[in-house]
Amino acid sequence: MRKNTNNRKPVRRDDKPKTIPVTNTFIVKRSDELLPFLLNKFEGKLSRNSIKTLLSGHKVLVNGSMTTQFNYPLAKDDEVKIARNPVRTKPVRKDAPKEMIPSIKPYIIYEDDEFLAINKPAGLLSVESDKDPNCAYAMAVAYLQKKDARSRPFILHRIDKETSGVLIFAKDIKIHSMLRMHWNEDITLREYYAVVAGVMEEPEGTIVSYLKENQNHLVYVSKDPRGKKAITNYEVVKASSQCSLLKINIETGRKNQIRVQMNAQNHPILGDDKYGLVPSPINRLCLHASALEFIHPVTKKPMRFYAPVPVEFKQLVK
């Protein structure tokens, strides 16, 4: 696999993105094409011509990226939104930058006919949200459609906005569908590095707990076995008197799992303004997804993707 060992700075946004008002949001349950999908969702409410007008009028978004393509391929778990107003994707001013979406090229760590893997910078969403349309998915769409207007990336997994590291898209809808059917079973490695506050009591260990989510979408550790079981293995790579660099392997992929469990151990991750509230000397969350490995659904061979640990993490524990 081709690797990019350069450490990249976080993507910066000079202008605060505006929220796109939407009228409808749909989650795709199985593979489909965009026009038939919308015809089914709006059956008895909108005519075929009205739906075509939504598409040609730049009001349809898939995972936050506007498309006018009637036969745009949809995969399971895609999010389709109908915007209230036309969504502009090109600059209006003549002196505006030629590209509204930053290039994904500097972050690519691997690419073949089936996969596109990037070293996602901290501060960039994996997929858009209502409050922030800037995301790695939009960058991947722009990159692939420059080469083939009919192509698109398919979302295999997500990592937190504040977390950097390995993020993989499938380029083939059949491969995507096969992987998503047994994603947790096919993954053989989820490796992270984190810098946490203080010195760990043990040089290595396993944290097992149950996680729940409150009304404010904050995850917390619970003793209730009805919560989602989370298993995190860690080992101390290096420590100073104030913080520790940990190598982490998670057996379960729960929301904010590492951040919540480390905070519950009284060793919150530096820079986590959601759990722990411990400032970071490098002005970012000190959590990095360093490696992801899964079994290829067709060849049955292991596919491993690696993003080098940020140099700043190692400098913090010198």
User: Mean pLDDT in the chain?
Assistant: 88
Give the tens place of pLDDT for each residue, 249-297: 999 999 999 999 999 999 999 999 999 889 999 999 999 999 999 999 9
Q: Give the other-Cβ count within 10 Å of 244's Cβ.
A: 22
- Please say whether the beta carbons of 180 and 156 come within 8 A: yes
Instruction: Take residue 86 and report the two structure tokens written for it.
Output: 């036309």
Q: What is the torsion angle, in degrees rounded to the nearest 10, for the CA atoms of residue 199, residue 203, residue 208 and residue 213? A: 30
Q: What are phi and psi of 139, to 5 degrees?
A: -65, -40
Give the tens place of pLDDT for each residue, 93-116: 344 344 567 899 999 999 999 999
What would the mean pLDDT of 53-80 be, rounded to a whole number? 90
- State whether the Cα torsion 126-218-238-233 is positive or negative: negative
Active-site entry in 32, 160, 186, 272: 160
Largest CA distance in the chain: 67
Give the tens place of pLDDT for each residue, 178-203: 998 888 888 999 999 999 999 999 99
**What's the pTM?**
0.81
Give the tens place of pLDDT for each residue, 198-230: 999 999 999 999 999 998 889 999 989 999 999
| Domains present along the chain, CATH in parentheses | 22-83 (3.10.290.10), 105-180 (3.30.2350.10), 184-316 (3.30.2350.10)
Q: What are phi and psi of 178, to 5 degrees?
A: -65, -40
The radius of gyration computed from the CA coordinates of the chain, to the nearest angstrom, equals 21
Give yes or no: 95 in active site: no
